[in-house]
Copies of this chain bind each other. A is one copy, B any other.
Amino acid sequence: MATLVGGIEAGGTKFVCVVGTPDGEIKDSVRFPTEAPEQTMANVFKFFDQYDVKVIAIGSFGPIDINEDSATYGYITSTPKPGWTNFDFVGAMEKQYPGVKILWTTDVNIAGYGEYKAGAAKGHKNVLYVTVGTGVGVGYVQDGKFFQGFSHPEGGHMLPRRYPGDEFKGVCPYHGSCIEGLTAGPAVEARAGKKGHLLAVDDKVWDYEAFYLAQACATYTVTFRPDIIVFGGGVMKQEQLFDKIRKQTAELLNGYLDTPNMEDYIVHVGLGDDAGIKGCLLWAGDNL
């Protein structure tokens, strides 16, 4: 039987555990809601206890500690999520599975890795992955490595200029009207009074959405300088957003610097909802 590797897409609302081949073929998976760590990890162990894997890659909700020199490497850090603050995720896995290599990064990085290896960004060197879902997260894969500095990017928390006349306050508990506070799923719902998938494709909400996400793309362009920006997450299933975002990003940059063609530059996730779990398997496979 072929070697199997494992992965965990640890989201703030649900966990997905997966085993599969090192080239990303899913053999088994399970999903369950994110409860307190004790119950959640019991579900994780129940799944992986069935398999003999050499590597498990984790893409976790955050903020997380990814600094290998840190005493709290492998921890979820300052999340407001009950019970998870300062939870030693990697430590818990290593204790349960001694001898198994545990890889650790953010949920957005791992989805970006999936896109880089096998999705919309295949063949690109500098891949920025942006999810617009429950929150707005940014992961950056450069030459197969995850970009980080003092910690991982939190590129959803920039303050955009406001759409003229838009007085919606935004829902980010820290920044109000940052990109996440204005464009993530809960912002769409708070603004429109219902979930985004229930709105018409020409609802005014999508104009706001594109206006703010184009500013995010322009700022990512002058900072990260990616080859490609891949958008995933529930909100970005609204395909009508893409052309608006491309057009406005180009207008904002105004020809100042070279970018790829906007059609090739700002694109939809290729692996759909599997970007994260495929990313886990592929990253684990590359670290066998």
Contact = CB atoms under 8 A, between A and B. Distances in A.
By size class, the interface of chain A is: 35 or more
Interface in A212-270: 215, 218-220, 222-227, 252-260
Nearest to A154: B222
A3 interface: no
A126 interface: yes
Interface string A146-162: 00111111111111111
Nearest to A177: B161
Contact of A256 (B175, B256, B257): B175
A34 to B, nearest CB: 21
Contacts of A253: 157, 174
A13 interface: no
Given A157-B222, A174-B255, 11 more contacts: A63-B257, A148-B225, A156-B222, A157-B253, A157-B257, A158-B218, A158-B222, A159-B252, A175-B254, A175-B256, A223-B223
Interface of A: 63, 77-78, 125-126, 138, 142, 148-162, 174-175, 215, 218-220, 222-227, 252-260
